[in-house]
Structure 1
Amino acid sequence: MAVVYLGLGSNLGDRRENLESAIHKLEDHASIEVVRRSSILETAPYGKTDQPDFMNMCIMVETRVSPLDLLEVVLSVEHDMGRVRKEIWGPRIIDIDILLYEDLELSLDELNIPHTEMHKRAFVLEPLAEIAGDVVHPGFGRTIETLRQELEAGKTNS
């Protein structure tokens, strides 16, 4: 079983219920088991700021699903929940990002693992550090907690 970390966010409708619903839909997949969950953070929007605040969290799953198949599952959950992709960083019912998949480094048009922007986003690093603080980011060779502290201190992570 592969250990995978996912980031979830919602800023439309019942945000907390949207997060819970997404987790349940992921758990409904026969080869995905949610093992750990972070607490939920309420955060200001990133990038496009003229929209409602988000609720964000991270989960750890164990799966036999390949990275590309997991992407299909994630996109299917988003679609089933009514996500419509109108604009980059726009409001959304649910957003599910594959952050880490074991220590895999993958760069494809449709999927990058680790997530290419996670080290720049406190709304990802804070809940991820809560459940995976000692996990080493395969691209940077530093723990998630170290990346979180560096971001908090205003250091550029590269």
Structure 2
Amino acid sequence: MAKVYISVGSNIEPEKHFRLGLQALSNHFKALNLSSVYLSEAVGFDGGDFLNMVVGAETERTINEVVDILKAIEFENGRAKDAKKFSSRTLDLDLLLYDDKICQLPVRLPRSEITFNAFVLWPLAEIAPNLVHPELSKTYSVLWQEYDKSSQLLKPIAFDFLGF
């Protein structure tokens, strides 16, 4: 059984899409572990604020299968197939980690955004503080402690998951 970590983001009807996305993730993966929800500014473009979180889960699926499931969930929630990388979105699901695998294909693992986006690193450090980054050999807690927190505005918010 592999342990995976998935970032979740939305700035278009984010409460609705978070609930739908989490319900879909729970249909495909086991033992979901949810971080707090964080409010962040759009990074890389002018857009509305995002809600972000990280979900830990267990799976017997391959990396390819996990990536395909995440893309399908995004599309089921209104993500345009031709969406630009830096744009508003209904639901953005990114595989951050698959056990301690390091690879470039089908996606780069560990995902590079872990170390430079506060909205990925803080929630990951919250639910997996003692997990070690497979390339940097530091825990996510240490990486968060070392992170320049003035570089991105981010704050935890109360979020009612309503059972997803």
Query: TM-score scaled by structure 2?
Result: 0.86
For the aligned residues, what is the CA RMSD? 1.5
- 1:153 Cα deviation from its structure 2 partner: 5.9
Q: Are 1:61 and 2:60 an aligned pair? A: no
**Number of residue pairs matched by the alignment:** 150
What are the equivalent positions in structure 2 for 1:4-153 lying under 5 Å apart?
4-13=4-13, 15-29=14-28, 32-48=29-45, 50-84=46-80, 85-108=82-105, 110-152=106-148
Aligned-pair identity (%): 33
Higher relative contact order (CA 8 A, sep 6+): 2
Contact 1:34 1:59 in 2 (8 A): no
Runs of 4+ in 1 over 6 A off after TM superposition: none
Query: TM-score scaled by structure 1?
Result: 0.90
Residues in 2 aligned to 1:12 and 1:34: alpha-carbon distance in whole angstroms: 27
Residues in 1 aligned to 2:113 and 2:39: alpha-carbon distance in whole angstroms: 19
Structure 2: where are the runs of 5+ without partners?
A: 151-164
From the superposition, tell whether residues 93 and 34 of structure 1 become closer, same or farther in structure 2 (CA, over 3 Å).
farther
Query: Residue 113 of structure 1 aligns to a residue in which SS?
Result: coil
Residues in 2 aligned to 1:53 and 1:90: alpha-carbon distance in whole angstroms: 11
Query: Residue 16 of structure 2 aligns to a residue in which SS?
Result: helix
- 1:88 Cα deviation from its structure 2 partner: 1.8
